[in-house]
Structure formats: structure tokens, C-alpha cells
Homo-oligomer: A and B are copies of this chain.
């Protein structure tokens, strides 16, 4: 049975009802809406520090530049989970533990097959299959810190197996069994291609994993913490985080940065003009259309994104002996022209090369297809998510903001 609202009770769509209507008093009448929570410090964390004004990123006490290019990802996980560098024994133990935990839950494979049959985004496949980790939890009701650390190990160990299996299923190939003799990052590359990766590729991807493992209170990490703040479980929090990272405003769009490079190369080859000429033309054209040049500028960093340097150097090292060395040289040439042209056309905006640009180079260089860029980001960020969930559960503080009502008042259900 339908009902009709009392016309008299329907206010204009204004946040302030007209005089004479009953307006419930607001709890905080003087408060502004903190749109997007920009500038609101939601929590304390010991995991990472982002200083966008100075271009500084500290991960577990280490400036990203000193940590990312040298550390094994497993040791960075230990650092985040335990707030210190592991001893030799602890490092060996965690590697063994992670390597032994890579098998996907039984329920995951049918979901990945069904997702591949429909060509769903890889992030949806990762989200659905990661959710089934609850089915293989040896102690699903245990809320202790040690049980959550064990869950963190299993989740981080399993994510690459899920992503690689999905990538192969989408290509009509059978998933590969993880190889326990390889490290976390090398095994991911192996599970994708079936080949033992080169030390160069492994180091490049490991540097990428370390660089993006954590980054302050980004939207996916925040999602994981809000979920954990209700005393929910670690897997629920991770599944929420995967869902948030899927969004193009967060997971980023490293694909378009690469597309730009290939498009400029194609145009130069077709026109006979230089890369520099085509790159400059491309930037002017993009800005004329009111579009953003992908791969330059960042919401938080007002100066150069420190991750861009780390990944730029990692990409340089990767391409030293690479079959596609020319691509790297072209990319650096194009980058120079783009930054120069943006500087002229958008003065004062400091549109430096950002992490997406070098991410695209590096991930392409180790052989990943564009569709795997965001899922691969998720495999790395899972280290940060798990550590944040455990930190949030330790803090045990419900995260529950307020909202300002801007709807109608005093409608009557007839």
C-alpha cells in the first residue's frame, strides 16, 4: 500500500528548515562539516608518517629511501607487525611461516573461476576470494593479538596466490602452485608467469612492495581501521580495505600514465616528430580539453613525492639490462618535457612526477599487465592494512563520526 507525505511537512531542500517548523537542535551547531575529513587527525599510528609539505615518508621509523630499496618485504612486514627489525632467527621463521601459508582457501578457486568467466575486475575477484579466508581460519572466534598476527600472516601470504591465480584464469591458463623455495615477491612473479624471475625483476618489485606498503591514513587503511574499531575481525577489515582500494580515486590509475607514454611514442613514430615535440603537444592538448595529465601531482604531497624517487631509481636499475631499455629512455625524456610543460602552463602548481608514473614503468618492466597494477598495489598494502588493524584493535576505540542532516522535516506518514 502506498502512502503519501503530508505536503505541509515537506520542507525545501535546504539545511535550515523554515521558521515555525520544529528543528531538532544539533549536537554541535557551531561545527563545520569536515568535508572528506581533510585535515582531521583521526588517530595516532606508529606505522607510517606522511609529510606532504616536506615530501617525507617514514615507514616504521625508516625514511622510505633507506628502507625500500634494500629490505626484503618479509622483514618490512615484521617491522610493521612488531615495530622492530627482526633478528636472523625471527626473519627466517617469518619467511618460513609465510611460505607455508600461501595455499588459497578451498572455497576461493570456484569464485575466481566464476569471476574469470565474467571478466570481473581483478579487485572484485581478490575481494571475494580473500573473504573466504574466514573459512580456513583455525580459530575464528579467537580475538587475541597472537591469533590476529597469525591471520595477518595467512592473509598477506595468500593474497598473491589469489591475484596470480585470477590473472592466469583470465588468460585461460591453470593457476600455479606456490613455490616454497622463493621469497614472497619472487613467488608472486613465478605464480604469474611460471618462470623463476630474475634477481633484477624481484628486487624492483620488492622495492615497489616496500615503498607502497603503508602510507598514513589513506582511504583503504582508514576503512580497515573503522571496521576493526567495532571489534570486528581482521578478515572483515581487510575485505573492506580491498573494496576501498578498488576505487579509482584511491587505487590510482597507473594504467593511464603508461597509456600516455605509448600514445606519445606512437604519435612520434607516425609523425616523424621528436618525442619531446609530441610530449609537449600532448600536454597542451590534454589541458586544453580540461583533463588531468595522469602521473603528475598528488593530493597530499605539495613537493616531490618521495616514493617517486625511490621507484624512479628502482625502474632505472631494472631497465639497465632490460630487453626494453629504449622504453625507459623514452619515458625519462617524455617525463622531462611533461614536467617542464606543466610548469609553464600551470605555474605554482608543482606538478611533479608522482608515484603512479614510476609505478607504471616498474610494474610494466617486471612484466605485469595493466589489469594487475591495482591488485599488486593491494598485495603490498596488505602489509600495512594488517598492521593497522592490529594497532586499531590494541587502541580499542570505536570510530564513529557524526553527520549533518540536510533532508526534510516533519513529514507525516499518511
| B-contacting residues, A9-43, CB 8 Å | 9-11, 13, 15, 24-28, 31-43
- Given the interface contacts A66-B412, A231-B249, A413-B71, does A27 sit within 8 Å of B52 by beta carbon? yes
A35 to B400, CA, bound (A): 9
| Copies of this protein in the complex | 2
Q: Which residues of B contact A235 (CB under 8 A)?
A: 124
How many residues of A sit at the interface, in one of the four size bands? 35 or more
Taking CB atoms and an 8 Å cut-off, the chain A residues in 62-111 that contact chain B are: 62-63, 66-67, 70-72, 75, 83-88, 90-92, 106-107, 110-111
Complex formed: what's the CA distance from A54 to B56 in Å? Answer: 46
- The answer to whether A46 touches B85 (Cβ under 8 A) is no
A232 touches B246 (CB 8 A): yes
**A361 in contact (CB, < 8 A):** no
Q: Min CB distance, A91 to chain B, in Å? A: 4
Instruction: Specify which chain B residues have a CB less than 8 angstroms from the CB of A132 in the assembled complex.
Output: 111, 114, 128
Q: A2-B85, A127-B239, A219-B229 are in contact. Are A33 and B43 (CB under 8 A)?
A: yes
Q: Which residues of B contact A127 (CB under 8 A)?
A: 131, 134, 236, 239
B240 touches A227 (CB 8 A): yes
Q: Shortest Cβ distance from A16 into chain B, in angstroms?
A: 12
Given A249-B229, A398-B249, A406-B46, are A25 and B54 also a contact pair (CB < 8 Å)? yes
State in angstroms the CA–CA spacing of A410 and B141 once bound together: 39
Known: A111-B132, A243-B239. A61 touches B411 (CB 8 A): yes
Binds B, one of A115-123, A164-172, A283-291, A319-327: A115-123
Contact A58 B240 (CB under 8 A): no
* Cβ contacts under 8 Å, A86 to chain B: 2-3
Contact B222 A240 (CB under 8 A): no
Contact A247 B230 (CB under 8 A): yes
CB pair A51 B33 closer than 8 Å: no
Are B24's CB and A32's CB within 8 A? no
For residue A106, which residues in chain B have a CB less than 8 angstroms away from its CB? Answer: 114
Whether A114 pairs with B128 at a CB distance below 8 angstroms is: no
- Would you call A135 and B115 a contact (CB within 8 A)? yes
> How many angstroms between the C-alpha atoms of A25 and B107 in the bound complex?
48
Partner of A400, one of B36, B60, B242, B411: B36
**CA A399 to CA B249, docked complex, whole Å:** 10
A357-379 contacts to B, CB under 8 A, are none
> Shortest Cβ distance from A414 into chain B, in angstroms?
8
Whether A407 sits at the interface, judged by CB under 8 Å, is: yes
Give the Cβ gap from A80 to chain B, nearest Cβ, in Å.
10
A216 at the binding interface (Cβ < 8 Å): yes
A232 touches B247 (CB 8 A): yes
Q: Is the beta-carbon distance between B53 and A27 smaller than 8 angstroms?
A: yes
- Which residue from B3, B28, B33 sits with its C-beta under 8 Å from A85? B3
With a CB–CB cut-off of 8 A, which chain B residues contact A63?
Answer: 410
Provide the A277-306 mask, 1 if CB < 8 A to any CB of B, else 0. 000000000000000000000010000000
Task: Tell me the bound Cα distance from A17 to B74 in angstroms.
Answer: 27
Question: Which 7 interchain pairs have the tightest Cβ spacing?
Answer: A230-B247, A236-B243, A240-B240, A61-B408, A46-B407, A49-B405, A232-B247
Beyond the given pairs A36-B399, A61-B409, A250-B398, 12 more chain A to chain B contacts, judged by CB atoms under 8 angstroms and listed by A's residue number, are A3-B85, A24-B56, A33-B43, A61-B408, A106-B114, A110-B110, A127-B236, A223-B227, A230-B247, A232-B243, A239-B243, A249-B398
